[in-house]
Chain A
Amino acid sequence: MSFLTLEHVHYRYNDLDFALKDVNWQVNQGEFHSLLGKSGCGKTTLLKLAAGLLKPEQGKIFLHGTEVYRPLPQMGYVFQAPTLLEWKNILDNVLLPIVLKRKPKEEELDFANELLQLVGIHSHKLKYPSELSGGQQSRVAIARALIQKPVMLYLDEPFAALDAITREELQDDLLKLCKMQKTTVLFITHDITEAVYLSDRIAIMFDGQIIHDMKIDLPEKRDIHMRYESNFNELCLTVRQYIGGGNNEKS
Chain B
Amino acid sequence: MKRVEYYSILLFILLLIGWQLLAQPMSELVLPTPTVIMLELWDGLNSGYFLPHIIRTGSEVILGLLIGCSMGFILGVLMGEFDVLRKLFYPYVIASQAVPKLALAPLFILWFGFGMTSKVVITALICFFPLLENTVTAVQYTDPNKKDLFYVLGATRLQTLVRLKIPAGLPAILAGFRVAVVLAVVGAVVGEFIGGNKGLGAMIIASQSMMDTPLMFSILILLTVMGMLLYQGVSLIEKFLLKPYTKGIKK
Binding site for B on A (CB under 8 A): 51, 53, 71, 73, 75, 77, 79-81, 83, 85-89, 96-97, 100-101, 127-132
- Please, how many residues of chain B have a CB less than 8 angstroms from a CB on the other chain? 23
Besides A86-B245, A130-B249, 20 other A-B contacts (C-beta < 8 A): A51-B152, A53-B148, A53-B152, A73-B154, A77-B148, A77-B149, A77-B152, A81-B145, A83-B143, A83-B145, A85-B167, A86-B168, A87-B245, A100-B163, A101-B154, A128-B245, A129-B248, A130-B245, A131-B248, A132-B248
Check: B251 CB closer than 8 A to any chain A CB: no
Which residues of A have CB within 8 Å of B167?
85, 87
Q: Does B155 lie at the interface of the complex (its beta carbon under 8 Å from any beta carbon of A)?
A: yes
B107-148 to A contact mask, C-beta < 8 Å, 1/0:
000000000000000000000000000000000000101101
Q: A100-B153, A131-B247 are in contact. Are A83 and B146 (CB under 8 A)?
A: yes
List of B residues within 8 angstroms of A89 by Cβ: 244
B246 close to A83 (CB less than 8 A): no
Q: Does B234 contact A (CB under 8 A)?
A: no
Residues of chain A within 8 A of B152, CB atoms compared: 51, 53, 71, 75, 77
Q: How far is the CA of A79 from the CA of B144 in the complex (A)?
A: 11
Interface of A, helix, strand, loop or mixed by DSSP: loop
B246 proximity list for chain A (CB < 8 A): 130
**A77: which B residues are within 8 A, CB to CB?**
148-149, 152
Contact B247 A85 (CB under 8 A): no
CA distance A87 to B154 in the complex (A): 20
Contacts of A101 in B (CB 8 A): 154
Chain A residues, CB < 8 A from B82:
none
Question: For A130, what are the chain B residues with a Cβ–Cβ distance below 8 Å?
Answer: 244-249
Q: What B residues does A51 contact at CB under 8 A?
A: 152
Per-residue CB contact flags for chain B residues 174-207 toward chain A (1 = under 8 Å, else 0) read: 0000000000000000000000000000000000
Kindly state the separation between the CA atoms of A51 and B153 in the bound complex, as whole angstroms: 11
Residue in A closest to B156 when the chains form the complex, CB atoms: A100
